[in-house]
Amino acid sequence: MDGFLLAGATFCLLVSFGYTLFSLGAGKFRPGVVNLVAILGGFVLLTVDLWKRGQAQGACPINSLFEVLVFMSWSILLIYLIVGPAYHLSLLGAFTSPLVFLVLLIAQLGPVGPPASGRFTRDPWIELHASLTLIAYGAFALAAVAGLMYWIQDRQLKGRKAGALLYNLPPITDLGVANARLLWLGFFLLTIGFAAGFISGMQVNSAKFVASAAIWACYGIILGLRRARRLPPRRTAAASMAVFGIVLLTLPVIQYLSSPK
């Protein structure tokens, strides 16, 4: 049943991704009901999957790299469903679905190890720390997606290309605003998550601490420079993509260091 739920969610996101490619090929590239329904379907299936795992483990289901990737996929979709309509960024979903599809595919087919088994007992503060951190990563993932869209739109405008992308991507100003706000949201959640970790008094491996602190500092510096108007929107967009790339690369290491031994 668990495998079915996850496979179903992956399929939903594949449909959304496939629909985007089809629309792009047809030169329309307008996210429609298909994208939204597919993403919503994927989100519901992932929610049920995570809830069942949580029930079985008696804890937030983030006890293996596999589960971390599934939880992060769920977080990305959650943030998208909250933020996308608010900023009229429905096209964000068209860019989000391939990312989540890829993460879910890696979780199921990549060398990430099996799902955790057994029951876990943890301090609620640690639970809060871990879940908020992953939701923050979801916001950073969407910031990276908005950053990618910003870059594409910038290139279209600079290159004076009047293709389907130019006409269907959101205005570049809106993308810059969405990129910055998603970074702020992620940073806010990550800070609370880290604060919860400190409150719990958990023992942290020094490598994990340094990696986590470096990621937090990177986002803090980006936002600080942005706020001081020292970092233009295009560079903010590039930085958000680059740092999220680092997050994805360091995630397996951080998870290995924090998984219950």
Partner 1 sequence: MNILCAGISHRNAAVDIREKFAVGPHELEETLGRIRGIDGLAGAVIVSTCNRVEYYTASVCPIRVLDGLREVLEERAGADLAPLYTHDSPASVRHLFRVASGLDSMVLGETEILGQIKQAYEAASGYGATTRHLNKLFQNAFRVAKQVRTETRITRGATSVGSVAVDLAGKIFGDLSGRHVMILGAGDMSERTARSLVSRGVRTVIVANRTFERAAKLAGEIGGMAVHFDNWQNAFESVDILICSTAAPHPIVTRGKLEPLLAGRDGRPLFIIDLAVPRDAEPSINELENVYLYDIDSLEQIVRQSLEVRRAEVVRCEQMINDHVGDFMTWMRTHNDRSL
86 versus 210: smaller Cβ distance to partner 1? 86
Min dist CB 115 to partner 1, Å, is 44
User: Is the Cβ of residue 30 or residue 52 nearer to partner 1 in the bound state?
Assistant: 30
Report the nearest approach of partner 1 to the CB of residue 173 (Å): 5
Name the minimum Å distance from CB 178 to partner 1. Answer: 11
- The answer to whether residues 181 and 239 touch, using CB atoms and an 8 Å cutoff, is no
CB-wise, 123 or 154, nearer to partner 1?
A: 154
Nearer to partner 1, 171 or 201 (CB): 171
Which residues would be at the binding site for partner 1 (CB under 8 A)? Answer: 27-28, 153, 157-158, 160, 162, 166-167, 169-174, 176, 229, 232-235
Q: Rounded to the nearest whole angstrom, what is the least distance from the CB of residue 238 to partner 1 in the complex?
A: 11
Q: Min. distance of Cβ 239 from partner 1 in angstroms?
A: 14
- C-beta of 162 vs 199, nearer to partner 1: 162
Cβ closer to partner 1: 77 or 91? 91
**Could you write out the three-class secondary structure of the chain?**
CHHHHHHHHHHHHHHHHHHHHHHHHCCCCCCCHHHHHHHHHHHHHHHHHHHHHHHHHCCCCCCCHHHHHHHHHHHHHHHHHHHHHHCCCHHHHHHHHHHHHHHHHHHHHCCCCCCCCCCCCCCHHHHHHHHHHHHHHHHHHHHHHHHHHHHHHHHHHHCCCCCHHHHHCCCHHHHHHHHHHHHHHHHHHHHHHHHHHHHHCCCCCHHHHHHHHHHHHHHHHHHHHHHCCCCCHHHHHHHHHHHHHHHHHHHHHHHHHHCCC
In this structure, what token pair is assigned to residue 216? Answer: 């937090």
CB of 76 to partner 1, least distance (A): 25
Least distance (Å) between residue 15 CB and partner 1? 21
Residue 29 phi, psi dihedral angles, 5° rounding: 50, 45
Torsion, Cα 29 30 36 39, to 10 degrees, reads 20
Cβ closest to partner 1, residue 180 vs residue 190: 180
